[in-house]
Amino acid sequence: MKRLSIGMALLAWALGASAQYHFTARVDELARMVEPEVIQWRRHIHQYPELSNREYKTAEYVARHLHNLKLEVRTGIAHTGVVGILRTGKPGPVVALRADMDALPVTERVDLPFASKEKSTYAGQTVGVMHACGHDAHVAMLMGAAKVLTQMKDQLRGTVVFIFQPAEEGAPPGENGGAKMMVEEGVLKDPTVDVIFGLHINSATEVGKIRYKPGGAMAAADRFLITVKGKQTHGSTPWTGVDPVTVAAQIVEGFQFIIGRQTDLTNEAAVISVGRIQGGVRNNIIPEEVEIEGTIRTLDTRMQAKIHGDIERMVTNIAESMGATAKLEIFKHVPVVYNDPDLTEKMMPILHLVAGKENVLLTKAVTGAEDFAYYAREVPGLFLFLGGMTPGQDPATAPPHHTPDFYIDEAGMLLGVKTLCSLTIDYMQKH
């Protein structure tokens, strides 16, 4: 009897392994077939980028593709979001896959035949528009995954929700948008999502590799705005006024003291960066007001609260000590991206099978932020980093994200399509 039970267990394991090999082989076959289309889709989206909450043509492009696949399609979610739903008609979990669609106010410098020449308006300024963070690749890979999974519908159990999200980079001032708004408008509720997967292509990770981090993987991002008010006067007689420019300079220097001397960086990383200082209209007029705008990145909620308090105290005291006043506003933009540890562990075998165990790399948390965090606060989530750097290149020479020279190797997208599909099917089979 014992030998029989052992034999049955081995047979069950062998059948399960065989079934898993069968679906990964089929995913690989179909993903390779769709790869030329994925590259074509990515190039089209790259050439015609759109800013956050303005992804009208991108949304139409995606919706048309989903309609052609005969999926249930919903549009206009969180302004321009698109959702495709694949219902298999068989009981099983609801798996969501997410890609972001928006581009950045960056003028492209990369010499490509499909480089962006688009212009738009951002914060009242005319700017170039570029997919300088890889969202074009994310959209194309999810379009590819939708096609592969639709072709494999008879092997699936449950439902797949394809989420094409606007405004990951943040809605324009005065507007709502992004993942938070998608969640508020019920994207995870109809049907009720059990688990969500996402990935982000990375220009400094070699093609063919996947990086992951259980638990807190990406930082919370908060925007701050400081308005320093002094007393306007002639530049030749600064003692007759109160110079807010000098006060602003002292505040910016003080940020480095907060991070370097008041924050326990052995716990988690933290960053305060200033992205804009604005004030004055003429070289010989000391202005009345200066604005300082920047970002705070933290990976721990207690550190986040402490740093907010440190900034408030420092800004107030520096301004008062120089006879000025300062108003601080902090806007919580994105929480920490939290990869569910149990889900992460359960999905490791399929990631090893798809990419090769040696190519699935545990990484440290990063101070970049991602509003995928809003989905992962509602349901178990796993967010991965996908290699987009040409093999053999020195990562130190790879142009960073959000820069005019940002570049990805399109060869990395095949693994992205396979990963999205394999995570979906594997989760369905296990649940």
pLDDT for 412-430, tens place per residue?
A: 999 999 999 999 999 999 9
CATH assignment of the domain containing 408: 3.40.630.10
102 among known catalytic residues: yes
Q: Is a pLDDT exceeding 90 seen at residue 2?
A: no
Mean pLDDT of 229-253: 98
Q: Are residues 95 and 161 in the same domain?
A: yes
Residues 142 and 60 in one domain: yes
- In this structure, the answer to whether residues 188 and 77 fall within a common structural domain is yes
Within this chain, do residues 188 and 241 fall inside the same structural domain, yes or no?
A: no
The residue-averaged pLDDT of 301-324 equals: 97
Range of the domain at 276: 220-334
3-class SS at 260? Answer: helix
Say if residue 235 is in the same domain as residue 107.
no
Q: What is the CATH number of the domain that holds 277?
A: 3.30.70.360
Task: Give yes or no: residues 205 and 246 share one domain.
Answer: no
214 and 324, same domain (yes or no): no
The model's confidence at residue 339, banded by pLDDT at 50, 70 and 90, is very high
The SS3 call for residue 297 is strand
Q: How confident is the model at residue 123 (pLDDT cuts 50, 70, 90)?
A: confident
For residues 71 and 87, state if they share a domain: yes
User: Which amino acid, 161?
Assistant: V
Any idea which residue has 């562990």 for tokens? Answer: 345
pLDDT of 22: 74
Q: Are strands 381-389 and 94-100 parallel, antiparallel or unpaired?
A: unpaired
Residue 5 has pLDDT above 80, yes or no: no
Which pLDDT score is estimated for 15? 47
Q: Is the dihedral of CA 138, 140, 142, 144 positive or negative?
A: negative
Tokens 């220009």 correspond to what residue? 203
Q: Span 118-143, mean pLDDT?
A: 96
For the cut 80, the answer to whether the pLDDT of residue 1 exceeds it is no
| CB of 133 closer than 8 Å to CB of 199 | no
One domain, residues 176 and 301: no
pLDDT > 70? residue 342:
yes
Same-domain check for residues 300 and 405:
no
Of the candidates 318, 334, 350, which is a domain's last residue? 334
Does residue 3 have a pLDDT over 80? no
Q: Which of 50, 118, 136, 168 is catalytic?
A: 168
Match 């034999």 to its residue by tokens. Answer: 7
pLDDT in tens, 182-231: 999 999 999 999 999 999 999 999 999 999 999 999 999 999 999 999 99
| Residue 296 contacts residue 330 (beta carbons within 8 Å) | yes
Q: Are residues 357 and 256 in the same domain?
A: no
Residue range 400-412, pLDDT digits in tens: 999 999 999 999 9
**End position of a domain, from candidates 334, 368, 383:** 334
388 vs 207, 208, 392, 395, 412, CA distance in Å? 5, 8, 12, 11, 5
Number of domains in the chain: 2
Of 269, 299, 334, at which residue does a domain stop? 334
- Predicted confidence (pLDDT) per residue in 368-394, tens digit: 999 999 999 999 999 999 999 999 999
Q: How far apart are CA 387 and CA 206, in angstroms?
A: 5
Residues 6+ positions from 413 with CB-CB distance below 8 Å: 35, 38, 39, 42, 137, 140, 141, 144, 201
* Residue predicted with more confidence, 198 or 13: 198
Contacts of 389 (CB under 8 A, 6+ apart): 202, 203, 204, 205, 206, 207, 395, 398, 408, 409, 412
Instruction: Please indicate, yes or no, whether residues 263 and 225 belong to a single structural domain of this protein.
Output: yes
| Catalytic residue from among 102, 206, 222, 370 | 102
Share of residues in the chain with pLDDT > 70 (%)? 95
Q: What is the mean pLDDT of the chain?
A: 95
| DSSP letters spanning 6-58 | HHHHHHHHHHHHHHHHHHHHHHHHHHHHHHHHHHHHHHHHHHS---TT--HHH
- Coil/strand/helix, residue 354: helix
Q: What is the pLDDT of residue 21?
A: 60
